[in-house]
C-alpha cells in the first residue's frame, strides 16, 4: 500500500482520542487512550506502522458520510454483487448527553459491518503495532476474540469472526449475504489496569446506539447558528468538539503528528497539544458554532495554565499538554519513515520553550467574551489577571518568536505587539470587575504607546502595507488580525491597502493565502494556510466588501473533503492537503469568517 492522500481520511472521536479512517475502511491512526498517547495503528506515517482494515474485495464505488449530526462514519461500498455498509465510531459513555459528551468513554472502537443488498466477499486485516509501530505484539486467540499484548498496551478485539494468524497480524476473508451483520469491538487497556474481557453483543449495541444519541443530542442542544454557510459552520463546530479532551476541556490543534508542511521536507510537527495562542479565536468560534459551557471549560484550562506561570513570575508558556503538562520536549521517532517519506517524525513540541508575547492578548480577549463567568472568580484569580495586564504593559517592547513560532532569532513581530495592545484594551474594559481601577491610567498610557508604535513602525509606505515586523519589509497574513481585534477600522485606507498587498503578494494560483514568504530559519517551503485565507475573508467583511469576502470564503471552503474536514495547509501546485489534520484553527477560521459575513450582511440590510 502506498501513502494515501491526507484528504482520504475521516475522523472519529470520543473526546479523549481520535482515529483516522481511510476511504477503504482502514484505521491507519489511533493513539490510545489520549490524543497525545502513542498510537497503536500508525500506517498514516509508515507502511509498516499497523492498521485495522475492513473492506470488500471488489469495490466499484465508495461513498461515505457522517450519520446525521454525529461523529459516526458510514462508508457505503458498492460491489458488482451487492452493497455493504461499514459504520465506525469511538464509543462515548452509554448515557452521555449535552455537556457531558466524553464522560465515561470506555476507550473502545466499534465497527459495524452490514450487507444490505446482494452479497459480497470482505477482507479484514488486523495488525496492531503499539508505541507508534515500534512494538510487534503477541496475538492470542481467546474466547470471542483476539488478545494483543505488546509493551505496556493490551488490546482486546471482540469478534465472532474466525481469524487466521500471520506472524503478528490476523486476517479473515468472509462471505456476506443480505441481512448479515457483524460487530468488531477493539478495547484498549494497560498491563497495570483491569483485565479485558469480551463484550456481549447487547453491550456493544448499547454503546454504539448510545454514542449516536449522544452526538446527535449534543448537536441538537448546541448548534443554533442560522447564518451564512450554516451547514459548514455546524460541521466545523462538531469538529472542534471532537478535538476537545473531555477531562480538562483542552482543544488539540490537530489530532496528528508530523504530517508535513512540505512533502519530503523537515517541517513536521506534533500538534496534539493545546496552544494558548488560539484562545480568543477559539472562544469566538465555540460561541457561534458549539456551546458556551465548552468555552468556559476551555477558558478554565487555558487561564489556569497561564496563571500558574504568572504566580511563579514566569513568562506564560505558549503551549501545554492536554492534561496541563508543561514539559513537551521534542524527540524524533527514527523507526518511522514519515508520510510520503517526510522525516523526521516528531513527538513533543519544543515551542513550549519559546517566548510568544501575543498570549496575553488572546487570554484577555477570551476573558472579555466570558466576563459574566469571570465575575464569579475568586479574588486571587482576578488579581492575577490584572497582574497579567501589567506584564503585557512591560514586555510589549521585547523581541519574541511570534505567532508562527519561528525558530530563527527573536524579532519585534507586529502581531505580538498587537496582542499586547489587546491585553491592555480588554483589561481596561474589565478593570472594575478585576478590582483594578487604580491601574487604568497606566494601562491606557501603555495601550496608546503600543498603538502609536504599530501605526508608525509596522507601516511600510513603499509596500503600502503593515508588515511582519517593526521597520520590516515583509508581508505577513497575521496583520489581517488588526481590524479583527479592533486596533484599526476595517475600512481604514491603510488596512484596505494592506489587504490589497496581501492579495497581490501572499496568494497562490487558487487565491489562497500564505502565512508569509520571509526566511524563518528552516529549510524548504510550505503550503498556503487555510486559516489565513479565512482571516482575509473576515477582514474583507469588516471592510464592508461582503461580496469579495464571500468569494474568498468560497475559495477556502471548497477544499473541505467529502466529510467536511480541513487540513492546515494546501499544496499550491496540486491542491493537495498538507500539514496536520484535521486542523482546529482552519475550522475556527471558517466559523469566525462566516459569522463576520453574516453580521456584515445583516448590517447592510438595516
Residue extents of the structural domains in the chain? 6-218, 223-604
pLDDT in tens, 159-215: 999 999 888 999 999 999 999 999 999 999 987 778 889 999 999 999 999 999 999
pLDDT in tens, 117-148: 999 999 999 999 999 999 999 999 988 899 99
- With a CB cutoff of 8 Å and minimum separation 6, the contacts of 432 are none
Residue 335 has which C-alpha cell? 523507526
107, 234, 512, 593 from 70: Cα distances, Å: 18, 11, 30, 24
Q: What is the mean pLDDT of residues 97-104?
A: 82
Contact 580, 540 (CB under 8 A): no
Burial of 385 by CB count in 10 Å (0-12 exposed, 13-18 middle, 19+ buried)? buried
pLDDT in tens, 415-451: 999 999 999 999 999 999 999 999 999 999 999 999 9
Q: Apex CA 141: angle with CA 137 and CA 142, to 5°?
A: 120
Residue 305 pLDDT greater than 90, yes or no: no
Q: Do the domains 6-218 and 223-604 sit in the same CATH topology, yes or no?
A: no
> In angstroms, rounded to a whole number, what is the distance separating the alpha carbons of residues 531 and 516?
13
DSSP 43: T
> pTM score, two decimals?
0.96
Which CATH code for domain 223-604? Answer: 1.50.10.10
- 51 forms bridges with which residues in the sheet? 127
DSSP 277: G
81, 399, 492 from 597: Cα distances, Å: 48, 35, 18
Contact 444, 453 (CB under 8 A): no
> In angstroms, rounded to a whole number, what is the distance separating the alpha carbons of residues 141 and 143?
7
Contact 24, 53 (CB under 8 A): yes
Would you state the pLDDT for residue 98?
A: 67
Q: Which fold has domain 6-218?
A: Beta-galactosidase; Chain A, domain 5 (2.70.98)
The region, left, alpha or beta by phi > 0 then psi within -120 to 50, assigned to residue 464 is left
Would you state the pLDDT for residue 169?
A: 96
The residue that leads in pLDDT, 69 or 521, is 69
Residue 222 pLDDT greater than 70, yes or no: yes
pLDDT in tens, 28-46: 999 999 999 999 999 999 9
Q: What is the mean pLDDT of the chain?
A: 94
CA 187 to chain centre: 25
DSSP 561-597: -TTS---SEE-TTT--EESSSS-HHHHHHHHHHHHHH
> In angstroms, rounded to a whole number, what is the distance separating the alpha carbons of residues 50 and 44?
9
Amino acid at each position: 500500500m502506498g501513502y494515501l492522500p491526507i484528504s482520504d481520511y475521516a475522523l472519529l472521536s470520543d473526546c479523549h482520542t481520535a482515529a483516522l479512517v481511510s476511504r477503504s475502511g482502514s484505521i491507519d491512526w489511533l493513539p490510545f487512550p489520549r490524543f497525545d498517547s502513542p498510537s497503536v495503528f500508525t500506517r498514516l506515517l509508515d507502511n509498516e506502522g499497523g492498521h485495522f482494515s475492513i473492506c470488500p474485495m471488489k469495490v466499484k464505488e465508495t461513498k461515505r458520510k457522517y450519520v446525521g449530526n454525529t461523529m459516526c462514519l458510514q462508508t457505503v461500498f458498492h460491489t458488482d454483487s451487492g452493497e455493504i455498509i461499514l459504520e465506525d465510531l469511538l464509543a462515548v459513555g452509554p448515557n452521555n448527553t449535552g455537556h457531558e459528551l466524553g464522560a465515561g468513554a470506555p476507550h473502545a472502537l466499534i465497527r459495524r459491518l452490514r450487507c444490505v443488498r446482494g452479497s459480497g466477499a470482505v477482507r479484514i486485516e488486523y495488525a496492531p503495532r503499539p508505541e507508534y509501530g515500534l512494538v510487534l505484539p503477541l496475538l492470542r486467540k481467546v474466547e470471542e476474540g483476539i488478545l494483543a499484548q505488546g509493551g505496556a498496551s493490551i488490546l482486546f478485539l471482540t469478534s465472532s469472526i474466525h481469524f487466521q494468524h500471520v506472524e503478528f497480524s490476523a486476517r479473515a476473508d468472509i462471505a456476506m449475504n443480505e441481512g448479515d451483520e457483524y460487530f468488531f469491538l477493539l478495547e484498549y487497556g494497560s498491563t497495570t489496569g483491569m483485565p479485558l474481557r469480551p463484550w456481549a453483543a447487547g453491550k456493544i449495541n448499547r454503546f454504539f446506539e448510545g454514542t449516536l444519541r449522544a452526538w446527535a443530542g449534543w448537536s441538537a442542544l448546541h448548534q443554533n447558528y442560522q447564518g451564512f454557510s450554516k451547514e459548514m459552520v455546524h460541521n466545523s463546530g462538531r469538529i472542534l468538539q471532537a478535538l476537545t479532551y473531555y477531562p480538562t476541556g483542552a482543544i488539540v490543534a490537530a489530532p496528528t503528528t508530523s504530517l508535513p508542511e512540505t512533502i519530503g521536507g523537515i517541517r513536521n510537527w506534533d500538534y496534539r497539544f493545546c496552544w494558548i495562542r488560539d484562545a480568543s479565536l477559539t472562544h469566538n468560534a465555540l460561541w457561534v458554532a458549539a456551546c458556551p459551557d465548552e468555552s468556559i471549560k476551555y477558558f478554565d484550562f487555558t487561564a489556569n495554565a497561564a496563571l500558574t506561570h504568572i504566580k511563579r513570575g514566569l513568562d506564560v508558556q505558549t503551549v501545554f499538554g492536554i492534561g496541563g503538562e508543561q514539559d513537551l520536549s521534542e524527540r524524533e521517532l527514527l523507526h518511522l519513515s514519515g508520510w510520503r517519506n517526510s522525516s523526521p517524525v516528531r513527538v513533543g513540541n519544543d515551542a513550549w520553550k519559546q517566548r510568544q508575547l501575543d498570549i496575553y492578548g488572546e487570554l484577555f480577549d477570551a476573558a472579555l467574551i466570558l466576563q459574566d463567568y469571570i465575575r464569579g472568580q475568586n479574588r486571587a484569580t482576578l488579581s492575577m489577571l490584572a497582574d497579567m495586564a501589567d506584564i503585557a504593559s512591560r514586555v510589549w517592547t521585547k523581541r519574541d518568536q511570534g505567532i508562527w513560532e519561528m525558530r530563527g532569532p527573536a524579532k519585534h513581530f507586529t502581531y505580538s505587539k498587537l496582542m499586547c495592545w489587546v491585553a491592555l484594551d480588554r483589561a481596561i474594559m474589565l478593570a472594575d470587575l478585576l478590582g483594578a481601577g487604580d491601574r487604568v491610567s497606566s494601562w491606557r498610557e501603555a495601550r496608546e504607546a503600543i498603538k502609536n508604535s504599530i501605526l508608525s513602525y509596522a507601516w511600510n509606505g513603499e509596500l503600502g502595507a503593515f508588515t511582519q515586523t517593526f521597520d520590516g519589509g515583509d508581508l505577513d497574513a497575521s496583520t489581517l488580525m488588526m481590524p479583527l481585534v479592533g486596533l484599526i477600522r476595517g475600512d481604514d485606507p491603510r488596512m484596505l491597502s494592506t489587504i490589497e498587498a496581501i492579495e497581490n503578494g501572499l496568494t497562490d494560483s487558487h487565491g489562497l493565502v500564505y502565512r508569509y514568504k520571509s526566511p524563518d530559519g528552516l529549510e524548504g517551503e510550505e503550503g498556503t494556510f487555510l486559516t489565513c485565507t479565512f482571516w482575509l475573508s473576515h477582514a474583507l467583511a469588516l471592510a464592508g466588501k461582503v461580496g469579495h469576502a464571500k468569494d474568498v470564503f468560497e475559495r477556502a471552503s471548497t477544499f473541505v473533503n467529502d466529510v467536511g474536514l480541513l487540513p492546515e495547509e494546501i499544496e499550491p501546485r496540486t491542491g493537495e492537503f498538507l500539514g496536520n489534520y484535521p486542523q482546529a484553527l482552519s475550522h475556527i477560521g471558517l466559523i469566525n469568517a462566516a459569522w463576520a459575513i453574516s453580521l456584515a450582511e445583516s448590517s447592510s440590510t438595516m
